[in-house]
């Protein structure tokens, strides 16, 4: 098997890198790399070398990677959905309770106390931080992917009622009895807590704004452990000032959130656990090896999922293409009797075909819409 070079753009867990087999060689030279494993490094301004065939994002969000530019250059981008979902879920649960019990504010106050009688000051002042319980309260979860679904299950187990909104299909791990809504604005009317778990896309940007907040219950707590631009922070601040919302718990501390009463912001710790970093790195490494070595695409965010078992005595011709039409039949017709098996798929305009052909089959199909072809085996 050919050797492939793997580069990294952030600190990637050694547990993940150790999964790379002997055909995959780590390199410090990104221009030499056939595959790159990345966490949050912003890749939008990078020029990609011809050698680069795939990028594995060791995490879920892919807003640091120019997906269309990569697709147009024949670079398949993978992410690691679900690999850090338990870590994020646990932090959201902590924030849910911290928010309801005013823990952050209480701790900050307790740390200001001085003198010999702190215990008595504590007893006198604690009434200012009295909170509420989550038992019997309602949480509305926007986005029931791997993270949202796990939060739903845990909230139900903690005695909460769970409402949900999901534009596509809820993740299969969802077991909670969720009251589903087609309209987020309707859902939030019933919720004491609203937690958002969707990717940052043009359609989701600013999804939590003054109009949605106006529909919320007075005193609701909003949680954002996904991406900063899903929420209009100025609208949050205005709603905190009037008391319309009680608190904004977020994992996305930035210049807009610091020092604002009612905003409790952690420094993007959601997926920063040893376990999550390992899980993500392992998944990214395995996805890259499966694609570079075998041509299989699983969990890509810019090309369709297409895979084919290796068939002895065949070589695999793997072609990435771009066209509004599905071109699989054209590949099939070209390889004709040489073809032993084939798999194909489309994702928007981008298509992928794996043709297992007899070893002696001489030619590679060419067409203006083919972006890149690799011959394996």
Residues engaged in binding ligand MLT (CB under 6 A)? 39-40, 59-61, 84, 270-271
Whole-Å CA distances, 331 to 47, 85, 264, 326, 336:
31, 39, 55, 10, 8
Nearer to ligand MLT among residue 84 and residue 296 (C-beta): 84
Distance CA 321, CA 106 (A): 57
Nearer to ligand MLT among residue 89 and residue 161 (C-beta): 89
3-class DSSP state of 344: strand
CB of 276 to ligand MLT, least distance (A): 8
State the angle between helix axes of 85-100 and 103-110 in degrees (0 to 180), rounded to the nearest 10: 70
CB of 85 to ligand MLT, least distance (A): 9
CB of 224 to ligand MLT, least distance (A): 11
Nearer to ligand MLT among residue 268 and residue 315 (C-beta): 268
Nearer to ligand MLT among residue 206 and residue 228 (C-beta): 228
Distance CA 89, CA 230 (A): 18
Distance CA 238, CA 222 (A): 14
CA nearest to 234, candidates 257, 251, 252 = 257
Distance CA 244, CA 238 (A): 9
Sheet order of strands, 54-57 included: 24-26, 4-8, 35-38, 54-57, 76-78
Nearer to ligand MLT among residue 84 and residue 250 (C-beta): 84
Nearer to ligand MLT among residue 84 and residue 257 (C-beta): 84
| DSSP bridge pairs for 342 | 355
Distance CA 4, CA 180 (A): 46
DSSP label at 306?
B
Provide CB contacts within 8 A for 292, sequence distance 6+: 4, 24, 34, 35, 53, 54
CB of 89 to ligand MLT, least distance (A): 12
Task: Give the other-Cβ count within 10 Å of 39's Cβ.
Answer: 20
Nearer to ligand MLT among residue 198 and residue 340 (C-beta): 198
DSSP label at 338?
G
CB of 59 to ligand MLT, least distance (A): 3
3-class DSSP state of 171: coil
CB of 81 to ligand MLT, least distance (A): 9
CB of 226 to ligand MLT, least distance (A): 7
CB of 43 to ligand MLT, least distance (A): 13
Nearer to ligand MLT among residue 284 and residue 355 (C-beta): 284
Distance separating the N- and C-terminal Cα atoms of the chain = 7
């Amino acid at each position: 098997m050919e050797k492939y070079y793997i580069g990294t753009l952030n600190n990637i867990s050694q547990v993940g890198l150790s999964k790379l087999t002997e055909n995959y060689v780590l390199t410090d030279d990104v221009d030499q790399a056939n595959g790159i494993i990345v966490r949050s490094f912003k890749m939008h301004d990078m020029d990609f070398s011809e050698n680069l065939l795939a990028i594995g994002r060791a995490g879920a969000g892919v807003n640091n990677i120019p997906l269309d530019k990569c697709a147009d250059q024949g670079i398949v981008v993978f992410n690691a959905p679900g690999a850090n979902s338990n870590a994020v879920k646990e932090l959201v649960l902590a924030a849910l309770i911290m928010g309801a019990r005013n823990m952050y504010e209480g701790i900050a106050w307790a740390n200001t106390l001085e003198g010999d009688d702190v215990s008595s000051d504590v007893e006198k002042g604690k009434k200012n931080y009295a909170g509420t319980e989550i038992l019997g309260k309602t949480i509305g979860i926007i986005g029931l992917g791997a993270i949202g679904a796990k939060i739903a299950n845990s909230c139900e187990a903690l005695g909460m009622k769970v409402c949900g909104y999901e534009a596509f299909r809820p993740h299969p791990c969802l077991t909670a009895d969720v009251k589903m809504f087609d309209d987020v604005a309707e859902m939030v009317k019933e919720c004491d807590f609203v937690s958002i778990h969707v990717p940052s896309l043009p359609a989701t940007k600013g999804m939590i704004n003054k109009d949605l907040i106006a529909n919320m219950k007075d005193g609701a707590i909003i949680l954002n452990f996904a991406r900063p631009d899903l929420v209009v922070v100025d609208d949050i601040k205005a709603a905190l000032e009037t008391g319309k919302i009680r608190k904004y718990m977020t994992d996305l501390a930035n210049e807009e959130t610091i020092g604002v009463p009612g905003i409790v912001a952690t420094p993007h710790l959601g997926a920063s656990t040893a376990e999550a970093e390992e899980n993500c790195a392992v998944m990214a490494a395995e996805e890259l090896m499966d694609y570079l070595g075998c041509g299989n695409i699983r969990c890509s965010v810019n090309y369709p999922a297409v895979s084919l078992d290796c068939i002895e005595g065949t070589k695999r011709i793997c072609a990435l293409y771009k066209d509004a039409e599905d071109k699989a039949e054209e590949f099939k017709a070209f390889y004709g009797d040489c073809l032993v098996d084939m798999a194909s798929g489309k994702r928007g305009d981008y298509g992928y075909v794996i043709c297992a052909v007899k070893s002696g089959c001489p030619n590679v199909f060419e067409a203006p819409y083919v972006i890149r072809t690799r011959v394996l085996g």
